């Protein structure tokens, strides 16, 4: 049994990590930090976790909290891991970071897209990018893993095989994606309260959303060609889920069956990717670590459309982090992770 610390366990992704680890055959949570909830029982904030964590209390973060652990998950707000990771490194064998702090390989992108200089740029080259379906060999036994989030995972898995196969042009790509409100985190915000979100659907981050360069980086790295994308996120009135509709110009004559075959071939051995003619839906993926993908080629308009759906808290965050942890620790990649969603 591998001992695990969850840093930032009081947030939605931290709670999801606790839920997944509770059913994991090889991971045991020995520390769950939550500075804003320090001293309070986990079950008081998340009663759903009471059967597994009835006696567990959130503790304040300090570097020594993960001492002796095999792995630490960092489920912190963007920016916080840049301070925490250098402190944790001497204390723990492996770190999987769920934030964007170590995903981008160019430190110059952080002030441009995140508004601040990177606090630990020397560590960027030591992190591997944690999208197993595309970069599994890099993650295997890695000490430091930066797991991508929901928007990037959905768009990248839909697009990367098509770009890599030369079926679509690498520039002029459009990604329209909608997220459930849990993607904004647990702390309330004026635009994520019930009254703000219910019966509403809105776009945000127009032209400037910070995950744009990460989508471009991930697809470029897999395909070996420079990619340009216009990304527009939307907030949908649902708890969980991401649906990404991606548009690209075909690089030559291509049919719907051909683009579907490219995706099927790319993911034929992947336990958490479903490729079919069905239009994906967020509810299909609820509670699972799976991604559902389809594609179409439209002769009339000259576009290829690739659509993907996933649960933003599982494959889009904590499930993906556990999948990476399994690889880093050298245990079964699928351990503790559901491939089948809940319905209704």
Active-site residues: which are they?
150
Residue with tokens 């329209």: 176
Cα–Cα dist 29/144, whole Å: 19
Q: How far apart are CA 214 and CA 57, in angstroms?
A: 35
Determine the Cα–Cα distance for residues 230 and 236; give it in Å rounded to an integer.
19
SS3 call for 10 = coil
Residues 6+ apart with CB under 8 A from 309: 154, 241, 242, 243, 244, 280, 281, 282, 284, 285, 291, 292
Angle of CA points 52, 91, 59, to nearest 5°: 40
Tokens of 312: 């933003």
Q: Are 76 and 8 in contact (CB under 8 A)?
A: yes
Q: How many CB atoms lie within 10 A of CB 194?
A: 9
H helix runs in the chain, sequence order: 12-22, 42-45, 50-53, 81-88, 109-114, 132-139, 150-164, 194-197, 212-223, 256-267, 319-329
246: which strand partners?
A: 175, 306
Q: 């430190």: which residue's tokens?
A: 107
Cα–Cα distance between 60 and 194 in angstroms, integer? 30
Residue identified by tokens 């839906």 is 281
Q: Could you tell me how many residues make up the chain?
A: 344
């Amino acid at each position: 049994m591998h001992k695990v610390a969850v840093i930032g366990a009081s947030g939605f992704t931290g709670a999801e990590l606790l839920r997944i680890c509770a059913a994991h055959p090889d991971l045991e949570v020995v520390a769950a930090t939550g500075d804003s909830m320090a001293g309070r029982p986990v079950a008081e904030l998340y009663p759903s976790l009471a059967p597994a964590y009835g006696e567990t209390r959130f503790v304040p973060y300090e570097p020594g909290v993960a001492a002796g652990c095999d792995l630490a998950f960092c489920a912190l707000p963007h920016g916080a891991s840049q301070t925490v990771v250098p402190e944790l490194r001497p204390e723990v064998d492996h770190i999987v970071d769920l934030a964007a702090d170590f995903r981008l390989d160019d430190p110059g992108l952080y002030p441009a897209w995140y508004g601040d200089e990177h606090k630990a740029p020397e560590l960027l080259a030591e992190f591997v990018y944690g999208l197993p379906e595309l970069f599994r060999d890099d993650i295997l036994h890695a000490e430091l893993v930066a797991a991508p989030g929901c928007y990037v995972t959905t768009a990248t898995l839909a697009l990367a095989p098509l770009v890599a196969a030369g079926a679509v042009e690498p520039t002029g790509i459009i990604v329209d994606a909608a997220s459930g409100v849990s993607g904004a985190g647990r702390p309330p915000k004026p635009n994520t309260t019930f009254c703000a979100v219910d019966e509403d659907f809105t776009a945000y981050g127009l032209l400037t959303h910070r995950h744009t360069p990460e989508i471009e980086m991930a697809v470029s790295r897999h395909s070996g060609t420079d990619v340009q994308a216009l990304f527009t996120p939307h907030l949908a009135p649902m708890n969980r889920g991401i649906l990404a509709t991606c548009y690209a110009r075909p690089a030559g004559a291509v049919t719907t069956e051909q683009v579907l075959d490219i995706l099927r071939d790319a993911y034929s051995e992947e336990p958490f990717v479903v490729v079919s003619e069905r239009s994906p839906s967020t509810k299909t993926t609820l509670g699972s670590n799976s991604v559902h993908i389809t594609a179409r080629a439209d002769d009339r308009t000259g576009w290829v459309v690739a659509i993907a759906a996933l649960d933003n808290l599982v494959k889009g965050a904590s499930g993906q982090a556990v999948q990476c942890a399994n690889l880093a620790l050298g245990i079964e990649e699928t351990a503790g992770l559901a491939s089948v969603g809940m319905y209704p």
